[in-house]
């Protein structure tokens, strides 16, 4: 069974690795925002009715309906795309999707298109050329996206990509895109895209029993994805914003995620007590830094170095590389950097580890002024198995 998973630009290697780690798939190709792979019926990593094949770093998962050479840049070339749609085995695709736990039948046809390079047609021309043929063959309505109206319930989602080499037509496995997590009912400004959060959790190489911290937890996406990646860790999140804390608690529901009021510039946890830090810090892109971080980003890095154990690791998302200049003097070395393309921005996914030859004194918080006490440490719940 041939399949394609789509992802954020820059996460293709992480998605390919996740596919291989299922132990039931082999890779066919890694391309622009997509990974092609094949597997046997019944051996895919299971999800639910909305996402039958669970790949947490994927934006969406599809059956490969048809793949051929790119048709070319001219509007007259759209005839070849209509011929591509006419050659699709609709009955076979419907059987395969149902065998994987996806919805039965098509109900209606909705298609989303994208292309690379200069063309004399737009995405909507592509969608109409393919979608109308598919709908006519299946005997169901076609929903055009040209006017921005959402498709009625029950329409099957298709995607067609033109990358300069190939024209690839895909049928979504689930009822909705895989990045739309069922748990994420509440959101706040700056909330993290779940597949990116999943990739960060996987890069952390979590193990049961570890203490995992998000010092600016927002709606809790990183901690929730960490739980789904490796259950049995102790998950602790802080945020100054009460709306963010409410959102995180709501999204986490019964999961073992402790969310508390806390300032990322003065964390109420003991020195060298955290095994992993996962964080999307507020550096003013969508959310301004507050509390002790306002105007003093170096305090965030100082706290990061203070709380990590000797074998600790931090996975952070940064808007620019310049911030890493605060990490190096504190004994935190970036050992991997990956640039992503995310909603018009180009953030860096960075993995940091302790430099073994750096002195511990540099990572400690300066002595408190007379009469002041250190922040009270938060008691976290014991790790739970899901």
- Where on the phi/psi map is residue 310: left (φ > 0), alpha (ψ -120 to 50), or beta? alpha
**Does position 362 have pLDDT exceeding 70, yes or no?**
no
Instruction: Identify which of 96, 32, 33 has the alpha carbon closest to the alpha carbon of residue 64.
Output: 96
Helices and strands of the chain, counted as H and E runs: 8, 15
Q: Residue 296's pLDDT band (boundaries 50, 70, 90)? A: confident
pLDDT at 39: 86
pLDDT at 377: 46
d(CA 215, CA 340): 22
Spatial CB neighbours of 280, under 8 Å, sequence gap ≥ 6 = 190, 192, 216, 218, 222, 316, 317
**Does position 380 have pLDDT exceeding 90, yes or no?**
no
pLDDT at 360: 45
More confident call, 51 vs 261: 261
pLDDT at 368: 43
Q: Are 272 and 309 in contact (CB under 8 A)?
A: yes
Phi, psi of 173 (to 5 degrees): -75, -40
**Does position 2 have pLDDT exceeding 50, yes or no?**
yes
CA dihedral 293, 294, 297, 301 (to 10 degrees): 0
Instruction: Identify which of 138, 227, 136, 244 has the alpha carbon closest to the alpha carbon of residue 191.
Output: 244
Please count the other Cβ atoms lying within 10 Å of the Cβ belonging to residue 93. Answer: 21
d(CA 268, CA 262): 7
Q: Are 381 and 207 in contact (CB under 8 A)?
A: no
CA atoms within 13 A on the CB side of 270: 7
pLDDT at 101: 86
Mean pLDDT of the 182-208 span: 95
**Does position 307 have pLDDT exceeding 60, yes or no?**
yes
Question: What is the per-residue pLDDT across 205-250, written as a single tens digit (0 to 9) for each?
Answer: 999 999 999 999 999 999 999 999 999 999 999 999 999 999 999 9
Q: Are 36 and 17 in contact (CB under 8 A)?
A: no
Instruction: Identify which of 36, 346, 27, 22 has the alpha carbon closest to the alpha carbon of residue 196.
Output: 346
Please count the other Cβ atoms lying within 10 Å of the Cβ belonging to residue 374. Answer: 11
**H/E element holding 318?**
strand 308-318
**Does position 53 have pLDDT exceeding 90, yes or no?**
no
Angle at which helices 194-203 and 12-21 cross, to 10°: 70
Q: Residue 294's pLDDT band (boundaries 50, 70, 90)? A: confident
Render 52-93 in DSSP notation, one character per residue.
SB--TT-SEEEEEEEEEE---SSGGGHHHHHHHHHT--HHHH
Q: Tokens representing 281?
A: 């810090």
Q: Residue 287's pLDDT band (boundaries 50, 70, 90)? A: low
pLDDT at 118: 96
More confident call, 3 vs 364: 3
The pTM for the full model equals 0.86
Q: Residue 297's pLDDT band (boundaries 50, 70, 90)? A: confident
Residue for token pair 């570890």: 210
Render 170-212 in DSSP notation, one character per residue.
EEESSSS-TTS-TT-----TTPPPHHHHHHHHHHTT--TT-EE
- Mean of the per-residue pLDDT values of the chain: 88
Question: What is the per-residue pLDDT across 61-106, written as a single tens digit (0 to 9) for each?
Answer: 999 999 999 999 999 999 999 999 999 999 999 999 998 888 999 9
């Amino acid at each position: 069974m041939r399949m394609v998973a789509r992802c954020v630009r820059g996460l293709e290697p992480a998605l390919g690795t996740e596919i291989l780690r299922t132990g039931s798939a082999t890779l066919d190709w890694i391309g622009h925002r997509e990974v092609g792979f094949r597997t046997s019926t019944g051996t895919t990593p299971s999800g639910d009715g909305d996402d039958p094949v669970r790949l947490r770093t994927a934006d969406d998962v599809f059956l490969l309906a048809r793949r051929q050479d790119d048709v070319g840049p001219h509007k007259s070339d759209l005839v070849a795309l209509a011929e591509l749609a006419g050659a699709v085995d609709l009955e076979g695709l419907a059987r395969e999707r149902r065998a994987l736990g996806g919805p039965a039948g098509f109900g209606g046809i909705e298609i989303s298109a994208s292309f690379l390079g200069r063309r004399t047609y737009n995405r909507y021309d592509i969608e109409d050329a393919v979608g109308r043929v598919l709908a006519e063959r299946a005997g169901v309505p076609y929903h055009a996206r040209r006017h921005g109206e959402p498709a009625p319930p029950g329409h099957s989602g298709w995607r067609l990509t033109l990358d300069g080499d190939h024209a690839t037509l895909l049928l979504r496995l689930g009822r909705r895109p895989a990045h739309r997590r069922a748990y994420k009912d509440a959101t706040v400004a700056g909330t993290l895209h779940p597949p990116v959060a999943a990739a960060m959790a996987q890069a952390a190489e979590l193990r049961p029993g570890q203490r995992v911290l998000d010092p600016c937890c927002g709606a809790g996406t990183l901690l929730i994805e960490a739980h789904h990646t490796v259950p049995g860790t102790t998950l602790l999140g802080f945020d100054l914003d009460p709306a963010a804390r409410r959102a995180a608690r709501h999204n986490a529901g019964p999961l073992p995620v402790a969310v508390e009021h806390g300032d990322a510039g003065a964390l109420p946890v003991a020195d060298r007590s955290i095994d992993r830090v996962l964080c999307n810090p507020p550096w003013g892109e969508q959310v301004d830094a507050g509390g002790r971080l306002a105007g003093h980003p170096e305090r965030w890095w100082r706290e990061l170095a203070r709380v990590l154990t000797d074998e600790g690791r931090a996975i952070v998302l940064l808007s620019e590389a310049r911030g890493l200049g605060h990490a190096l003097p504190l004994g935190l070395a970036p050992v991997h950097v990956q640039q992503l393309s995310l909603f018009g921005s180009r953030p860096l996914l960075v993995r940091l580890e302790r430099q073994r030859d750096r002195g511990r004194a540099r990572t400690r918080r300066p002595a408190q002024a007379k009469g002041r006490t250190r922040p009270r440490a938060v008691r976290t719940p014991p790790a739970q198995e899901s």
